[in-house]
Copies of this chain bind each other. A is one copy, B any other.
Amino acid sequence: MATPFHNPSCHHCKDRFSSIFCKAEQCNLDQIADAKVCSVYRKGQVIFHEGAYPFGVYCVNDGKIKLSHSGDDGREQIIRLVKAGDIMGYKALLSNERYTATATALEDSSICFIPKDLFLNILQKDASLSFEMMRILSSELRKAELKITHLAQKPVRERLAETLLFIKETYGLEEDGHTLSVRLSREEIANLVGTATESAIRLLSEFKKDGMIELEGKKIRLLDMPEIVRTANLQE
């Protein structure tokens, strides 16, 4: 499946200042650098499966990953978009349960794996790391609760606009300053918004007709940011 390769050093990782591990003490970082295994996953490959038992946490060295629930009727709900420097799989590890989401690479990605015991061990010893962990969890929880409110109260149109902004915040734009730098299928966008694929397609067409965005295959260019923000109707 995944292809292991020569481990990139944590000390030179381009995300060492933004990832959670920037808070870890040096000696602990050394231990992690020694023990971790880095692998390359191709676009579409699954990193871990909903229902499986976790054996460690994953830290994204490079790439983009989606975390998704598979709903009762098989429809997927995308829960989180993961980028370089982010960790994933920590929730299952901390609550000592099975994965509740499946992680799938949105593009070719290199991902480091840190064994469970080591991670938990360091978490016990390193107060500032564990504090950072709590900060991340709190912030994810805050975002999730906001999403619940919006899902319950906002129409699809607003949620789609909000989702476009969210994708931009997460993965940023290409050099042209307009194009979202990730390629998602219409279905994936719908599963992020929480609506039917056809609805997402229809509304994207409307956004395009209104001049807010430009579509070219899976490329989405945000042309009229103020209007997108207005459409998202965010007050908070």
- Residues in B with CB closer than 8 Å to A131 are 94, 123-124, 130
8 Å CB contacts to B: which residues of A72-130? 72-73, 75, 77, 79, 90-92, 94-97, 100-101, 123-125, 127, 130
B142→A194 contact, CB < 8 A: no
Residue from B71, B144, B146, B150 within 8 A of A141 (CB atoms): B144
Q: Within the complex, what minimum Cβ distance (angstroms) separates A145 from chain B?
A: 5
Residue pair B194, A135 in contact (C-beta under 8 Å):
no
Known: A94-B134, A130-B134. A153 touches B79 (CB 8 A): no
A216 at the interface (CB under 8 A from B): no
Complex contact A152–B100 (CB within 8 A) = no
Q: Is A175 an interface residue (CB 8 A)?
A: no
Whether A101 lies near B151 (C-beta < 8 A) is: no
A residues 50-84 touching B (CB-CB < 8 Å): 69, 71-73, 75, 77, 79
Q: Is the CB of B69 within 8 A of A151?
A: no
Q: Which of B91, B96, B148, B234 contacts A194 (CB 8 A)?
A: B148
Give CA–CA (A147, B149) in the complex, Å: 10
- The answer to whether the Cβ of A133 comes within 8 Å of any Cβ in the partner chain is yes
On whether A152 and B95 interact (CB within 8 A), knowing A100-B146, A146-B69, the answer reads no
CB distance from A151 to the nearest CB of B (A): 4
By the criterion CB–CB under 8 Å, are B127 and A91 in contact? no
CB–CB A79/B145 < 8 A: yes
Q: How far, in Å, is A23 (CB) from chain B's closest CB?
A: 12
* Given A130-B134, A137-B137, A72:B233 Cβ within 8 A: yes
Residues of B within 8 A of A133 (CB): 134
Known: A72-B235, A140-B141. A77 touches B135 (CB 8 A): no
Q: A139: CB under 8 A from chain B?
A: yes
A154 within 8 A of B: yes
Q: Which A residues have a C-beta under 8 Å from some C-beta of B?
A: 69, 71-73, 75, 77, 79, 90-92, 94-97, 100-101, 123-125, 127, 130-131, 133-135, 137-142, 144-154, 194-195, 233-236
